Amino acid sequence: MQNAAGLEVLRLAGDAHTLFLVGGGASPEGARPFLDRFDVDAKKATRLFRSEGPYYEAAVDVLDTKGVRFLTRRETATEPPNYVLRGWPRRRRKSSITSAPTASI
Q: Give Cα separations from 37 to 17, 28, 43, 56, 93 (angstroms).
A: 10, 23, 11, 20, 18
- Band of residue 24 on the pLDDT scale cut at 50, 70, 90: very high
H/E stretch holding 70 reads strand 69-75
pLDDT of residue 68: 85
Say if residue 58's pLDDT is above 90: yes
Specify the higher pLDDT residue, 15 or 83: 83
- Band of residue 92 on the pLDDT scale cut at 50, 70, 90: low
pLDDT of residue 9: 73
% residues pLDDT > 70 (the chain): 90
Give the distance from CA 102 to its chain's centroid. Answer: 23
For the chain, how many residues are written?
105
The answer to whether the beta carbons of residues 49 and 58 sit under 8 Å apart is: no
- Band of residue 88 on the pLDDT scale cut at 50, 70, 90: low
Closest by CA to 35, choosing from 63, 77, 75, is 63
- Band of residue 90 on the pLDDT scale cut at 50, 70, 90: low
Q: What is the mean pLDDT of residues 7-14?
A: 77
Say if residue 1's pLDDT is above 70: no
Q: What is the mean pLDDT of residues 54-82?
A: 91
Cα gap 11→3, rounded to integer Å: 10
Q: What is the rounded end-to-end Cα distance, in angstroms, of the chain? A: 35
